[in-house]
Every structure is written in structure tokens, then in C-alpha cells.
Structure 1
Amino acid sequence: MKQIAVAIHSEYVPGLAEKARRFVEALARRCPDSVVLVGGYWGHMKDVVDAALAVGLKVVAFIPMEREEVRLPSGVIAVRTGCEYRCRSVFMIRSADAVVVLGGGVGTAIEAFMAYAMGKPLFVLVHTGTPTDKLKEAYPEYFDTRNAVRVVYLSDPEEVAARACAAEAGAIKGFG
């Protein structure tokens, strides 16, 4: 069983819901026993959760204290972290075997940087129309000189799912 954190925009971006659905459906075909980890149930995170439940994947939502009132669908495991947005992301990324960035803003970028700092396999979908598309320009392979994790940039959601399923899990000790 592989736990895959999905970082995605908390607001709506044209075309991103379809890419999220394609990623989740491919994930279910390639890793049917995987667990999808998300940071909530709003924006495109809702699209990921709904798609995952529709194809029978398990979902764990790490809820920040600011959004504890959010109503989750039946079957979603809620972890009410008791801390704010960025803090809840630490729990989500630390729990992941691999991290997938499907496009987003600063919160999604922070989760990508956390994954890198923790040595998690990191896969970034590009051509999403979101600010995280710029990560590839700024950091073509690594986020810093430690070369902790080679960041894999892909333009096809199905390929992102395939690579995340095949990724070797395990954090690199001493980074952060």
C-alpha cells in the first residue's frame, strides 16, 4: 500500500479538475491499493477526493484548525490536526511515500518544498495554468545544492500517476 500526497490548488482553475480526475483514475488503475492524502475538502482538493472515492481509493484528509467544520464525504478518514494550514501540511507530507503536485499557488508550492526537504519522491504536473508551473523554470532538477530529491516534471497526469506508483518511498534523514 502506497500513501500518495496530492497537493493541488484550493481555488478553482479552468481545466485543472479534469487533470485531477485523469490523475486519480490512472492512480487507481496502477496502484489500486494506494491511499490518497489531501489537505482538505474544498477547491480542487474536493475534485481529487470525489474522484478517488468514485474509483474506490482510500482517502485521508489532514484538516487545518481553520476549516475543522468542513463536512467530508462518507469513507474519508479525517485527521483534525489542531494546527494551521502550513502545519497540517507537515503531517500530510511526512505521511506520504510520494508527493504529487497537480498545480496550485503558494500553499501547494510550500508542500512541494516540504517534500523536497523531507527527501520524498516529488512529481510536479506542469502546464496547469497555476503558479507552480514556474517551479520548473526556477528549479529544473533540484531545489537547492543538496540535491536531496530530483524533482520530476511531467505534463501528462497519467504519467504522473505511473511515476508516483513506481517511486521508491523513504525520507532522506538529516534534511530540512
Structure 2
Amino acid sequence: MPLWSPLFPRTPAVFETRLSRREAVASLQAATARGNITATGSVAGTVDATRVHLYHRTPQRNSFKPHFRGQLIDTPRGCELRGRFALPGLVVAFMVFWLGFCVLWTVVTAMPLGSLEPMRLPAALPGVLMAAIGIGLVRLGQHLARDDPAELSRVIRQALQSPTH
């Protein structure tokens, strides 16, 4: 398990349906707002025959909410939507850069020539504090979006129900 897995979880999900791929795409598109401000619906994103990208719409901005990314795969009984809930890639890349810089700052200021100098420890404090703030922001955003995967799953399951159910 990578070191960053607890901070940037990636949760796999599979949704089965008896609908054909074409019907599943149409049904998911009907349940998905196209992303503009005046659209109705709690889920926005894009759906086509090869890719699905969905996220839960909320009034407040939260870059740390999980998005569902997946693809529809044909099966003998219909199709499956396979994918995962994860933070957007740009958010993860930015936070890895942020935290990496904080670690670099802390190491360079505390150990300038490879030896730990106790008098330089206060200079390392800003790097530690900035890393803590970054981790805190990620955790707060995840806490505020804690129900998003369940809401997305509910909308996906509802959209993928076959008409005979």
C-alpha cells in the first residue's frame, strides 16, 4: 500500500445492469446534469460509450470531493460500469507538489549539510506547519464530501435499473 493511500484513497466500484451499453449511456446521461449552473440534478459530469466521469454537485466549492471515473464494459447479461471514486488528478498532483515542497523545506533547513543541527530546528517549523495545513485541508474537504460516494452510487444504481424491475 503506497504511503499516500490514506490521504488520497481510491475506492473501486462496479455497477451491474441488464441494460445494453447504449441504453446504459442514455440512462446515465439522462440522470446527469451537463455541468452548467442552471441545470437540475445532484450529479454532474460526462457520460459516453467509452468513459464516465461523475461528481456530486453541491452549493459550496470543494476541490477535495471524490469523483467517479469509469467505463462501461459489455457482459453476457448486459453491461457493467467499472471504475473508482478518487480525488481529481490535478488536485492530487498539486497536493503531492505542496507536501513534497514542505518536506524538502523542512529537511534542507534542519539538515543543511547532512547533519541535524538543533539550532536550525525552528527554521524547519514553517515547513512542518505548511504540511500540516495541507493535510488538514485535504481531510476537511474529504469530511465535507463524506456522503458523496453514496449519493453518486445511489444515482448510478437508479439510472442503471433495467426497465423490467
Would you say same fold, with TM above 0.5? no
Greater relative contact order structure (CA < 8 Å, 6+ sep): 2
Q: Which structure has the greater CA radius of gyration? A: 2
Question: What TM-score do the two structures reach when normalised by structure 2?
Answer: 0.23
